[in-house]
Amino acid sequence: MPIAPAVTAFLPVVVNGLFNITDMSQIISCYSAELIFLLAGADIITMAWEATGVDKRIAAHGLALVGTSVRQQVLIWFLMATLLSSVLPNTVVAAVLCSIAASMLRFVGEGDVKNSRAASLVLMAIVWGANNGGMLTPLGGAMNLVSVSYIENYTGREFIYTDWVVQLLPFGLLITALTAAFLLSIKCGRKNLDGSKGYFKELCESLPKMSAAGFISIGVFAGATILAFTRQLYQDLLPALRPGYVFLAGGMCMFFVRDGAGKPVVTWEMAEKKLMWGLFFLFAGGTALGALVNGSGASELFAELISKVHLESRFLLIFIIVTLNVILSDIINNTACAAVTIPIVISVAQGLRLPVIPYLWIATVSYNMSYMLPTSIRAIPIGYGLEPRFMFKNGLLLTAVNILATSVLGWLCISFWPGFGILSQ
């Protein structure tokens, strides 16, 4: 009988308790990592967005500017999902935008998603955009925070978020452009969604005036994001105030914000129900599993086997890393995949006497390129009627294109960009 994936998050503790593979403190510490507090804080702030209608307001006003062309709709939904998921949890972005899109599609007579290619494309564009946007900043998903955690453990110093944006920007732009071009190349079935622009104008007009609580929730999130990316400016003054604790402080502030009627925007009862507890445990469990794999010596053994193959081609090594990670993250969960495979990537790079960080960057990009199977956030549009076969058929080809493109760009960066992999002090 299947069980929730979050339940398996506690297996590393049980397994290590039974077989004493590594120091238990290394396993337990994963469940109280700083980055879990970042996820919790961001989650609580977005609860305030939902309660005050900020999430729908942002989406509605952005989409009210779009024309009725199906291709325009597909492109804008995709770009909006990409941009929002670069700073918001991709699960939240996919859920909110798919809900709004489904309402719009019903309004224009395309509610039968299974039999509407245009509707299927819109929903698929949203979930692919929410997936891709994660690679643009460390805030884009739990799998990114796994990478940050391993980089900090490897280097022994605090990770500066601006390094991520600068060094992964070429990958983000390339994958975004290729995915957008691929979506636009798929036959739409019809040219226009008549009435879609009017739907969003009506939705904007029906929304109540932005409340003070809404402005505060936007301001708190913007402030936390700015502080996370300008950490180096106050690092010496406040050495303990890392990004995770900044977002946690922002989330705590939401409990003190009141709406127009004087009621709290976010309550603990609401937080208990809506916090993504499963995601927190999955993130922690994945990291703990990685620590278990590291402590068992399995990653070193795997790296030793790779080194015995005498893999001379750096491009081939990059291609293997990207391909395996993309396939594995599509089948299971990109967060768990990152936690298990990053120690292996580190060990392989060390075993082959290669710089570690560049290969970690490339592996990180590959965790954000899942397009085929209805797992993780890709299950959300399936609930609205998107056929899994439609997503798999198109996702398979896009996966092949992006694997090759990422491998080529990764090889070019490692070969010709001296600063690729060099982190701020």
Q: Considering only CA atoms, which of 171, 113, 123, 112 is closest in space to residue 147? A: 171
- Position 283 scores a pLDDT of 67
pLDDT band of residue 407 (cuts 50, 70, 90) is very high
pLDDT tens per residue across span 23-48: 898 889 888 878 688 878 888 988 88
pLDDT band of residue 4 (cuts 50, 70, 90) is low
- Position 90 scores a pLDDT of 79
pLDDT tens per residue across span 189-237: 766 666 666 777 777 778 888 899 999 999 998 898 889 888 888 888 9
Adjacent-strand bridge partners of 420: none
pLDDT band of residue 151 (cuts 50, 70, 90) is very high
Say which residues have a Cβ less than 8 Å from residue 176's Cβ, sequence separation at least 6.
Answer: 79, 82, 132
pLDDT tens per residue across span 351-388: 788 899 999 999 999 988 989 988 777 877 887 888 98
Decide which of 52 and 334 is more confident. Answer: 52
- Position 372 scores a pLDDT of 92
- Position 311 scores a pLDDT of 66
| Dihedral pair phi/psi, residue 2, rounded to 5° | -70, 150
Look over the chain and give the mean of its residue pLDDT values, rounded to a whole number: 85
Give the residue-averaged pLDDT of 167-180: 96
- Position 184 scores a pLDDT of 93
pLDDT tens per residue across span 64-113: 767 667 888 899 889 989 998 888 777 778 877 887 788 778 777 778 88
Per-residue HEC secondary structure of the chain comes to CCCCHHHHHHHHHHHHHHHCCCCHHHHHHHHHCHHHHHHHHHHHHHHHHHHHCHHHHHHHHHHCCCCCEHHHHHHHHHHHHHHHHCCCCHHHHHHHHHHHHHHHHHHCCCCCHHHCHHHHHHHHHHHHHHHHHHHHCHHHCHHHHHHHHHHHHHHCCCCCHHHHHHHHHHHHHHHHHHHHHHHHHCCCCCCECCCHHHHHHHHHHHCCCCCHHHHHHHHHHHHHHHHHHCHHHHCCCCCCCCHHHHHHHHHHHHHHCECCCCCECCCHHHHHHHCCHHHHHHHHHHHHHHHHHHHHCHHHHHHHHHHHCCCCCHHHHHHHHHHHHHHHHHHCCHHHHHHHHHHHHHHHHHHCCCCHHHHHHHHHHHCCCCCCCCCHHHHHHHCCCCCHHHHHHHHHHHHHHHHHHHHHHHHHHHHHCCCCCCCCC
- Position 5 scores a pLDDT of 64
Residue 375: C-alpha distances to residues 70, 77, 257, 330 (Å): 26, 21, 36, 7
Phi-psi region of 394 (alpha: psi -120 to 50; beta: other; left: phi over 0): alpha
As a whole number of angstroms, the distance between CA 240 and CA 251 comes to 18
- Position 200 scores a pLDDT of 73
Return the number of other C-beta atoms located less than 10 Å from residue 417's C-beta.
Answer: 13
pLDDT surpasses 90 at 406: yes
pLDDT surpasses 60 at 333: yes
As a whole number of angstroms, the distance between CA 160 and CA 88 comes to 19
- Position 50 scores a pLDDT of 81
- Position 416 scores a pLDDT of 95
pLDDT tens per residue across span 236-282: 899 889 888 998 999 999 999 998 889 999 999 999 988 878 767 86
- Position 243 scores a pLDDT of 87
**Cα–chain center distance at 371:** 13
As a whole number of angstroms, the distance between CA 126 and CA 136 comes to 16
- Position 141 scores a pLDDT of 76
- Position 223 scores a pLDDT of 92
- Position 63 scores a pLDDT of 65
Decide which of 207 and 425 is more confident. Answer: 207
- Position 140 scores a pLDDT of 80
pLDDT tens per residue across span 310-321: 667 889 999 999
